[in-house]
Structure 1
Amino acid sequence: MNHILKVSLIASLSAGLIACGSDDSPSLNTAKVSFSIADAPVDSAQEVNVSYSSITLQRPDEADIELLIEDENGEPISINLLDYQNGDSLLVLSDAELPIGEYSELIINTYQCPQNQNGSTEFCNVVDEVGATLPLKTPSNKLRLGSFTVTSEGTQAYTIDFNLRKSLVSTANGTSFNLKPHGVTIIDNTAVGSLSGTVDPSLFSAGECAADTGNVVYLYNAPIGETEVLGDEFDPEIDTDVPAEVVAPYASKMVQQDSETNDYVYSFSYLPAGDYLVAFSCSAVDDDPEIYNEISIADPQAQQATVSLEAGVNAEYNFVEAVEEAEAI
């Protein structure tokens, strides 16, 4: 038995469960849940276009629930992930009525993404930094993102956050890309804050760093142990030889120039409340998202600080040449 929820992308609809079986089936305790999609900047692409057909929700010892994602014509939707970054998001399912309880897996079903480097670019593709349109593969057209919980506390809103610096991987000698679930997270919108700030451009050429290349801000769950090493991006399922003392970042963001202020800025959105260590590196030009590259973080060494984030609060930390004590504002 399957329950199917059909929800239009452009309309805020309350989608009810369509139950299979007899009329005397027991009623379900339900809550209304919404899902949005957001992204973070990536340095290897101008566009990351992905088509989606549905979201599958799995529950222990229960039938799967499928939430259809469609446009006004009943077709799968196509999204350029890079249109929704730095706090922006796209609402893809609104007020879906779901049974209360634990869900063991949320699966995003992509639509006709190619399964090899020679596949079609019609529905899933990457426009790279020089303008070439390349195939974008998703594993078996499914992104398995893990567990989440639906509670009885009113309407719940979740953001599916794509950190493309982790999840977008160049393959086949640069002729195609893979989009992996590594780095894609499900975040409860009621328990999140954000962190942003500026970076002094004099730090870009500090030491042996080349100006305007490899400028990245890394974020780690705190505290960090005295013997632990701040790591760059890597996938532990791919690189199994990373030393045990290396700490993987929670997220990382390129430093970008704001077109209005001309300041060099970074921004982390949809962060669960808690303590973090934020660190800048001017030497992150070769950060392969699958392999530990032993990038120096922080670089310069003093450019790191601990910040505390509260739900609903936008915190700020600025990296300046004369290092000051960090304050979360």
Structure 2
Amino acid sequence: MRSSLKYLLALPLLGLLLQMQGCGTCGFDCSDGNDNEAAASLTLSFSDAPLEDLKEVVIEVSAIEFRRDNLDPIVVETFDLATSSGRESFKIDLLQFPGIQSQEILTGLTVPADFYDEIFIEILSGDVNHSYVLDDEDMSRVINVDDSGLLLSGRQVDAENQDITVEFGLARALKFNANDDTYTLDEEGVRVVQDSLDPSLGGIVDEDLFTAAVECDDMEDGDNAWNRVYLYEGTGLDLDSLGDVFTEGAAGSAGKIAPYAASTLTLGPNGWQFSFGYLPSGGYTLAFSCNAQEDDARTVQDITIPLPADQVVQLSLSTQENVSCDLELQESPRC
């Protein structure tokens, strides 16, 4: 017996459900009726952590492969949308799908319970008609993806229902190329997580913090591009070593602690908010900076973190726990 594989996209809000049914080729007989092989019902989602100053981050996916050691991969390479069938690719604006809300986009593929070493997401790139960024000046910039896609670490899929999400941490994964005004999307910051078990963390940031430090008092009213919340693995860290986002081996990174994730702020009904989804259980250090406008995905910018200096907190996250931390002026973060 085998059971259905489902792909989901994570949505920021409950909204119109766009269903896609998928078919593809399999590294086994998809309909052989072999009841001796354990089955798994798998749900795969896409989610992201958004960036400032970008209106759209669109990728066109042409295939998804689930790879097992010494076996042919399970390949999904045609997609049926609600409005058309037999599509050989589909586009996703990642900025429309943050958070942990999910939308089903592909069903009907059966998989055996097994360890899948790798998940490969094939992406059409190098052409603004396929994958692109739309910036705050409404200019479309090409997204390039090396090796035709993203090769991600796999997961164990047991003989039970499981929810798995591909989390695009765009603050680390999306890199601007100043020499030709293009972007590169790579695996750094893209994670495969089991979202039914993983804890999440979020909260509200007091707008008064945006200009609470001398370094930030030039920020214009309503300008949120300077502000980020950083999350580091571990507690008891040397606060002087907390680094901004950078690639491994970047100049000036010696002794710096790279953030596990970075969150920009979005305006919600209760104020400016941040969120981190699909986190491994364990201890973390959360810190805010009101002077992060120069942060990028490649280089060390020596951004002061935390800023103001009291906007840092240590916390522990447990399985299936949703933790709220609010950052307020003249108070330490409350979790």
Cα separation, 2, equivalents of 1:268 and 1:207:
28
User: How far 1:82 sits from its partner (Å)?
Assistant: 0.9
**1:6–1:169 Cα change, 3 Å:** same
User: How far 1:47 sits from its partner (Å)?
Assistant: 0.5
Question: What is the match of residue 103 of structure 1?
Answer: 116
Secondary structure of 2:292's partner? coil
Verify: 1:64 aligned to 2:76, yes or no.
Answer: no
Letter in 2 for 1:250: Y
- For the 8 Å contact 1:104–1:148, the answer to whether it is kept is yes
Question: What is the match of residue 227 of structure 2?
Answer: 215
User: How far 1:320 sits from its partner (Å)?
Assistant: 1.1
Question: What is the match of residue 291 of structure 1?
Answer: 299
Cα separation, 2, equivalents of 1:265 and 1:167:
22
User: How far 1:62 sits from its partner (Å)?
Assistant: 2.1
User: How far 1:17 sits from its partner (Å)?
Assistant: 5.0
Cα separation, 1, equivalents of 2:58 and 2:300:
27
Question: What is the match of residue 117 of structure 1?
Answer: none
Unaligned 5+ segments in structure 1 are: 115-119
Question: What is the match of residue 12 of structure 2?
Answer: none
Verify: 1:231 aligned to 2:231, yes or no.
Answer: no
Letter in 2 for 1:50: I
Verify: 1:50 aligned to 2:49, yes or no.
Answer: no
* Residue in structure 1 matching 2:136, options 106, 110, 129: 129
Letter in 2 for 1:61: N
Cα separation, 1, equivalents of 2:208 and 2:6:
52
User: How far 1:248 sits from its partner (Å)?
Assistant: 1.2
Secondary structure of 2:199's partner? strand
Question: What is the match of residue 196 of structure 2?
Answer: 190
User: How far 1:188 sits from its partner (Å)?
Assistant: 0.2
User: How far 1:163 sits from its partner (Å)?
Assistant: 1.0
Secondary structure of 1:186's partner? strand
User: How far 1:35 sits from its partner (Å)?
Assistant: 0.7
Letter in 2 for 1:62: L
User: How far 1:314 sits from its partner (Å)?
Assistant: 2.2
Cα separation, 1, equivalents of 2:144 and 2:90:
17
* Residue in structure 1 matching 2:181, options 150, 154, 175: 175
- How far does the alpha carbon of each residue in 1:71-98 deviate from its partner, in whole angstroms, 9 at most, with x for none? 3321111111111013334434446432
Letter in 1 for 2:279: L
User: How far 1:185 sits from its partner (Å)?
Assistant: 0.5
User: How far 1:12 sits from its partner (Å)?
Assistant: 6.2
**1:273–1:12 Cα change, 3 Å:** farther
Secondary structure of 2:196's partner? helix
**1:11–1:201 Cα change, 3 Å:** closer
Question: What is the match of residue 249 of structure 1?
Answer: 259
Q: CA RMSD in A?
A: 2.9
Secondary structure of 2:110's partner? strand
- How far does the alpha carbon of each residue in 1:190-220 deviate from its partner, in whole angstroms, 9 at most, with x for none? 2112211111222211122133341100011
- How far does the alpha carbon of each residue in 1:204-245 deviate from its partner, in whole angstroms, 9 at most, with x for none? 111221333411000111224348711111111x626521x3
Letter in 1 for 2:50: P
Unaligned 5+ segments in structure 2 are: 9-17
* Residue in structure 1 matching 2:96, options 67, 70, 83: 83
User: How far 1:16 sits from its partner (Å)?
Assistant: 9.6
**1:280–1:288 Cα change, 3 Å:** same
Secondary structure of 2:179's partner? helix
Secondary structure of 1:275's partner? strand
Question: What is the match of residue 275 of structure 1?
Answer: 283
Cα separation, 1, equivalents of 2:322 and 2:6:
35
- For the 8 Å contact 1:279–1:303, the answer to whether it is kept is yes
Cα separation, 1, equivalents of 2:193 and 2:21:
20
User: How far 1:102 sits from its partner (Å)?
Assistant: 2.0
Letter in 1 for 2:309: Q
Letter in 1 for 2:310: A
User: How far 1:128 sits from its partner (Å)?
Assistant: 0.9
Instruction: Please identify runs of 4+ aligned residues in structure 1 that moved more than 6 A.
Output: 5-9, 12-16, 23-26
Secondary structure of 1:266's partner? strand
- How far does the alpha carbon of each residue in 1:151-208 deviate from its partner, in whole angstroms, 9 at most, with x for none? 12x1111011111111111114362111111111011012112211111222211122
- For the 8 Å contact 1:31–1:151, the answer to whether it is kept is yes
Cα separation, 1, equivalents of 2:133 and 2:180:
11
Letter in 2 for 1:132: M
* TM-score normalised by the chain length of structure 1: 0.84
- For the 8 Å contact 1:137–1:178, the answer to whether it is kept is yes
* TM-score normalised by the chain length of structure 2: 0.83
- For the 8 Å contact 1:242–1:292, the answer to whether it is kept is yes
